[in-house]
């Protein structure tokens, strides 16, 4: 089954997304903020994947591996699950200081991100057309901390 067809049938249709999955899987799909937040809600309470698969997704796959988070910096360790970066105990994380260590997510070069904090029950996303840069390193943690503060009231 072609990847585009699989994404359409397994994700887009069940979640009622307007996302067009015909772009490059790594950097070419286009969707709305509503689509990304629907994916965030799905990740908070998975219905489309088995619980065992989700548990593997959010578990450290290579414990203790140091690395560079593209365009963000070096972390020791830089923990990854299956397709998502895991916050863990990193200082200066892009999801802010107020998200829990179990927070996970992904960000892209187009200045967009999605993180999910299963402890707080929050998903947060931002979509931009502004290329990732120093502005994001400053703005994303501030935005994330403000969202957590507002929702914790």
Q: 126 to each of 3, 24, 75, 138, 140, how far by Cα in Å? A: 25, 20, 23, 14, 9
Q: Which domain holds residue 51?
A: 32-151
Does this model's pTM top 0.85? Answer: yes
Which residues does residue 113 pair with via DSSP β-bridges, in sequence order?
107, 126
What is the full per-residue pLDDT of the chain (153 aa) written as tens digits? 999 999 999 999 999 999 888 878 777 778 899 999 999 999 999 999 999 999 999 999 999 899 988 778 888 889 999 989 999 988 889 999 999 999 999 988 778 899 999 999 999 999 988 888 899 999 999 999 999 999 987
Q: What is the SS3 assignment for 83?
A: coil
Query: Does residue 110 fall inside a structural domain?
Result: yes
Number of alpha carbons in the 13 Å side-chain half-sphere of residue 114: 17
Query: Does residue 27 fall inside a structural domain?
Result: no
CATH number at residue 94: 3.40.710.10
How many domains is the chain partitioned into structurally? 1
């Amino acid at each position: 089954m072609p990847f585009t067809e699989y994404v359409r049938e397994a994700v887009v249709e069940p979640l009622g997304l307007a996302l067009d999955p015909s772009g490059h899987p790594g950097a070419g799909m286009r969707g709305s903020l509503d689509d990304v937040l629907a994916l965030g809600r799905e990740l908070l309470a998975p219905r489309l994947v088995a619980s065992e698969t989700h548990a593997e997704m959010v578990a450290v796959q290579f414990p203790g591996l140091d690395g560079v988070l593209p365009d963000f910096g070096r972390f020791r360790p830089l923990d990854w699950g299956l397709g998502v970066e895991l916050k863990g105990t990193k200082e200066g994380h892009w999801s802010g200081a107020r998200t829990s260590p179990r927070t996970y997510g992904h960000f892209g070069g187009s200045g967009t991100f999605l993180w999910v904090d299963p402890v707080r029950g929050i998903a947060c996303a931002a979509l931009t057309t502004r290329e990732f840069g120093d502005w994001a390193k400053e703005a994303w943690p501030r935005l994330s901390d403000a969202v957590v503060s507002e929702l914790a009231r």
